[in-house]
Amino acid sequence: MSDSSINLDELRQRIDQLDGDILRLISERADCAQKVAHVKLADDKDAVFYRPEREAQVLRRIMSLNKGPLDSEEMARLFREIMSACLALEQPIKVAYLGPEGTFTQQAALKHFGESAISLPMAAIDEVFREVEAGAVNYGVVPVENSTEGVVNHTLDTFMDSSIHICGEVVLRIHHHLLISDTTRRDKISRIYSHPQSFGQCRKWLDAHYPHAERVPVSSNAEAAKLVKTEWHSAAIAGDMAAKLYGLERIADKIEDRPDNSTRFLIIGNQRVPMAGEDKTSIVVAMRNQPGALHDLLEPFHRHKIDLTRIETRPSRTGVWNYVFFIDFKGHVDEPRVAAVLEEVKLRASELRVLGSYPQGVL
């Protein structure tokens, strides 16, 4: 036996030992989570098991303790899955997302809740809201903005008619690929299916590589991937999940025009989330139709040094909602300076609704 094989055996013995230790510790942790569930139930028979603020704190702590060699995001992803399995022991969590299966929204749902969550595809954004409001699922995941294409208006509009809370956010790097099936003639591609937002994110690449192919918008990238299975002259633009789900081949990788292309998704639910430490708040405000309205609205934020992360204007849909602004800012409604700003804004606005305070996305 060579020296290197002795070393290999020794190292594998050490790995076996460590795996045994990790197994014991994960089981001990799961046992603790089960006890947490009993404590929650003893306090309240309608106990809420999923605690976004606690999960954010656990993940941030792991990232700050990590000394490598695995990078902190990788380590947090492992802990994400451990927590997901622990939560499933407390209560299996049902999450509705904008489907069909294989969409980036499903990917975002799994990134946020981990693989132990039960994820259920819905045909439309309103349906995700309805399922959450009706209590048929615990949470929902909907896209809200893309770094290249901007805001998802439909999601914002749906908030206006709903009493739902935002419980979290998750940002996903979006990589698009050009996909074909095993029956596609790759030299004869004359039609490309995708979601309109994805066409927008790959516009320059398509102009350069497939200027003459017909671009057919469909309701989702996964739908595009499904259609390609049946047509020999078509390709689809979609992500990894859809490619795997429908067994498609990637003939061009990462074709998005901007390398930092990412989409932000919101986690919606029926619970108010306590402070996690690094939080965000989303509000919707209606101002009266008068000069200086936007200045009046933003001035208190400036004075109290509150960091705005986004502001969107949407057309009003009732007489009361003349101008409607969706505003995100750093901070939590339970912080006195945030509460003070909201009091001031309330006096200046014709309507103010806090959509939720929630931990800033960790992963």
Ligand X SMILES: O=C(O)C(=O)C[C@]1(C(=O)O)C=C[C@@H](O)C=C1
Residue 235's DSSP bridge partners are: 192
The C-alpha R_g of the chain, in whole angstroms, comes to 24
**Contacts of 62 by beta carbon, 8 Å cutoff, 6+ apart:** 72, 75, 76, 79
Which of positions 31-60 make contact with ligand X (CB under 6 A)?
33, 36, 49-51, 54-55, 58
User: Which C-beta is closer to ligand X: that of 54 or that of 304?
Assistant: 54
Q: Are 185 and 233 in contact (CB under 8 A)?
A: yes
What are the backbone angles phi and psi of residue 6, rounded to the nearest 5°? -60, -45
Which of positions 65-94 make contact with ligand X (CB under 6 A)?
83, 86-87, 90
User: Which C-beta is closer to ligand X: that of 53 or that of 328?
Assistant: 53
User: Which C-beta is closer to ligand X: that of 72 or that of 271?
Assistant: 271
At its nearest, how many Å lie between ligand X and the CB of residue 227? 38
Residue 250's DSSP bridge partners are: 179
Closest listed residue to residue 175, CA positions, set 106, 235, 263: 263
What are the backbone angles phi and psi of residue 205, rounded to the nearest 5°? -65, -45
Q: Which two tokens stand for residue 37?
A: 């569930």
124: region left, alpha or beta (phi > 0 left; psi from -120 to 50 alpha)? beta
Q: Are 177 and 254 in contact (CB under 8 A)?
A: yes
User: Which C-beta is closer to ligand X: that of 86 or that of 268?
Assistant: 86
When CB distances to ligand X are compared, the closest residue is: 86
At its nearest, how many Å lie between ligand X and the CB of residue 15? 25
Residue 152 contacts ligand X per CB under 6 A = no
Burial of 326 (0-12, 13-18, 19+ CB in 10 A): buried
Which of positions 15-34 make contact with ligand X (CB under 6 A)?
33
At its nearest, how many Å lie between ligand X and the CB of residue 328? 23
Q: Which two tokens stand for residue 278?
A: 């690094």
Q: Are 196 and 150 in contact (CB under 8 A)?
A: no
Closest listed residue to residue 236, CA positions, set 357, 226, 326, 244: 226
At its nearest, how many Å lie between ligand X and the CB of residue 83? 4
Q: Are 138 and 50 in contact (CB under 8 A)?
A: yes
At its nearest, how many Å lie between ligand X and the CB of residue 358? 13
Closest listed residue to residue 185, CA positions, set 248, 250, 235: 235
Which of positions 113-142 make contact with ligand X (CB under 6 A)?
none
At its nearest, how many Å lie between ligand X and the CB of residue 55? 5
User: Which C-beta is closer to ligand X: that of 86 or that of 137?
Assistant: 86
236: region left, alpha or beta (phi > 0 left; psi from -120 to 50 alpha)? beta
User: Which C-beta is closer to ligand X: that of 33 or that of 63?
Assistant: 33
CA distance 213 to 106: 29
At its nearest, how many Å lie between ligand X and the CB of residue 28? 12
At its nearest, how many Å lie between ligand X and the CB of residue 30? 8
At its nearest, how many Å lie between ligand X and the CB of residue 270? 15
User: Which C-beta is closer to ligand X: that of 76 or that of 342?
Assistant: 76
User: Which C-beta is closer to ligand X: that of 34 or that of 313?
Assistant: 34
Which of positions 238-257 make contact with ligand X (CB under 6 A)?
none
User: Which C-beta is closer to ligand X: that of 56 or that of 237?
Assistant: 56
Number of residues that bind ligand X (CB under 6 A): 12
Binding site for ligand X (CB under 6 A): 33, 36, 49-51, 54-55, 58, 83, 86-87, 90
